[in-house]
Amino acid sequence: MTQSTQQLLKTLGIQHPIILAPMAGATNADIVAKVSNAGGLGSFGAASTKPEQLRVLIRDIRERTDLPFNINLFSGSTEKYDHSVAAGDAISQRYRDWHTELELDNTPEPIALFGPAEEQLDVLISEKVPVISFHFGVDQPALKRAQQSGATVLCSATSVCEAVFLEKQGVDIVIAQGAEAGGHRGTFIGDYRDSLIGTFALVPQIVDAVNCPVIAAGGIMDARGIVAALTLGASAAQMGTAFLGCTESKIPTAWVKSLKNAEADQIAVTEVISGKPARGIKNRFIDELETINDGLLPYPAHYSLSRLIRAKAAKENDADFLAMWSGQGVGLFKETTVESLMQELLTNSETLLGHRELAAVFRKSI
């Protein structure tokens, strides 16, 4: 085990360099606690969880585990948008047509789906959450408040310049989010298209550019990915899509079925679902909006327009209208449990790390 991995394990208070990706909407107290109890770091995506519900959730996690866990928030800056901006005519008509087809009320007005970030952070601090992570960057006041509470702070970076910026800000650990990662791109400097860098190209560059520990994220589905990430200098691996196959995740069965049947070329980065770039499984929802792809509201206002559609899709297991986030490693997806997945990851990682045949090949060629 490398010194950087040992440092990270000590800092986070965990046994194994495996991090459950927060995945807002796909994590819950059960899966968080089970990952932590298995020696990894369980994480909950709290961006859409209101403060009073968040406090209940944290206490629920603590009833299930006495080990460290992570709560993830979106940067407070993502809550702000220009309320005077209206959706384009074609986009508005598309939503009206869908609401008619699905027998829903009229398209709702935009609302604040996430936060308030400051109030959410108040809850994390008062509940003494041990690890706090941020997505879309982090502002200095929030970072300092979190650290002063005793929490270790993580934040995602999709480029070297973002990682360097985060370290200068004082973030304790950087998450290198490669282009293969499912869900929302964490880009907060420049255009996301310039930061679609593959995980195993991004990780060593970030490792060389910063002094703090680096967590690799994006497309890691099994022990091979974990060992590769560690070999490239990462201190740990963050995994999301792999854990969506665990029964504890409780995502809609239509999402699970789509993950089982999807291939990497069916996974795309799109802005049309939420207004921000995010990687997920292509379906009717994405395909029909991308024929327009003009006049989107700013994030998160645009995301809120589809809230009734997505809620009905989840209730009725309609894959056509779900936002089914997924990484590009989806071809390795399988259904399992947290206990079985963690055991398999640990056993196979140990086997790979102890394998000497490859080293022997290099010795013979010198």
Question: Model confidence at 81, in pLDDT bands (50, 70, 90)?
Answer: confident
Question: Which tokens is 165 given?
Answer: 């910026």
Read off the CATH number of the domain in which 35 is found: 3.20.20.70
pLDDT at 340 over 60: yes
Write the Ramachandran bin of 194: left for phi over 0, alpha for psi from -120 to 50, otherwise beta: alpha
pLDDT at 361 over 60: no
Averaged confidence pLDDT in the chain: 94
Q: What is the mean pLDDT of residues 78-94?
A: 86
State the angle between helix axes of 140-148 and 117-126 in degrees (0 to 180), rounded to the nearest 10: 10
pLDDT at 362 over 60: no
Question: Model confidence at 355, in pLDDT bands (50, 70, 90)?
Answer: low
Least confident range from 90-94, 149-153, 289-293: namely 289-293
User: Among residues 355, 350, 348, 342, which one has the least CA distance to residue 18?
Assistant: 342
91: domain range? 3-365
Q: How many domains does the chain have?
A: 1
pLDDT in tens, 16-62: 999 999 999 999 999 999 999 999 999 999 999 999 999 999 999 99
Task: Name the 3-class secondary structure at 80.
Answer: coil
pLDDT at 197 over 80: yes
pLDDT at 363 over 60: no
Beta carbons of 299 and 287 less than 8 angstroms apart: no
State the distance between the two ends of the chain, measured CA to CA, in whole angstroms: 26
pLDDT at site 47:
95
CA distances for 355 relative to 75, 229, 349, 358, angstroms: 42, 16, 10, 7
Question: Which tokens is 147 given?
Answer: 């650290």
What is the share, in percent, of the chain residues with pLDDT greater than 90? 87
pLDDT at site 46:
98
